[in-house]
Amino acid sequence: MAAEKAGVVVVAFNGPGVLHQLTGVIAAHNGDIRSISLIEEQPPDTRIYFELDLPGPIDPLAADLTVLEVVRSVEVVQTMQKIYGKRIIIMGGGAQVGQVALGAIAEADRHNIRGEHISIDTIPLVGEETLAAAVRATRRLPRVRALVLAGSLMGGDIEHAVREVRAQGMLVISLNMAGSVPDASDLVVTDPVQAGVMAVMAIADTAKFNIDRLSRRVF
């Protein structure tokens, strides 16, 4: 039987060993933790979000979490995967980021009304060190399927970061810009609006576009 995906928000006492108790109950129900986030701390409590794969219904697990002394409340919620789905991160210069987002949002809307769940995140950034760190950090963010680098000049350590995340399975699309980042990317697109459109098409299950079938990588 396929595992059921579930989201749980736990409000618990903020102290040592609390996470160990919570994950112990999840393990006892054969739950597989797909992601975990500390949403916020409001001493003496903290809110913790778990995204789980479960072999059975969520209610028995929620009930066992509730009886823990450290737990204040338990809420079963829809998973972030179900609500927000796959993520595309767009980073770089503000004007270019905005134009890429224009294409990505319009294309995501077309697929989302057909049953997809694709969300677009943007962050205008400048500077080699800042951008390289941001590129590497995408691998620590949940549900990110593609990264679009939108700028006029990117190279150096940003190129190294791009090659690192691509080696870990991240799809990277670059605008056709100066610097070495385009050479390190999966796909290079000159028009920023089209870059956003192609990023969405590349990760959408409802699209027939496949980067691996392209005879060229620069457009």
The predicted-structure confidence for 66-120, as pLDDT tens digits, reads as follows: 999 898 999 998 888 888 889 999 999 888 999 999 999 999 899 889 888 999 9
Q: What is the mean pLDDT of the chain?
A: 88
pTM, rounded to two decimals: 0.80
- Asked whether 29 and 65 are in contact (CB, 8 A), the reply is no
Residue type, 158: I
- Asked whether 104 and 116 are in contact (CB, 8 A), the reply is no
Residues 114 and 143 grouped into a single domain:
yes
Q: How many domains does the chain have?
A: 2
Residues 67 and 100 grouped into a single domain:
no
Distances (CA, A) of 26 to 23, 33, 46: 5, 8, 18
In a domain, 183, yes or no: yes
Domain termination site, one of 79, 98, 126? 79
Q: How far apart are CA 183 and CA 76, in angstroms?
A: 45
Residues 69 and 146 grouped into a single domain:
no
pLDDT at 211 over 80: no
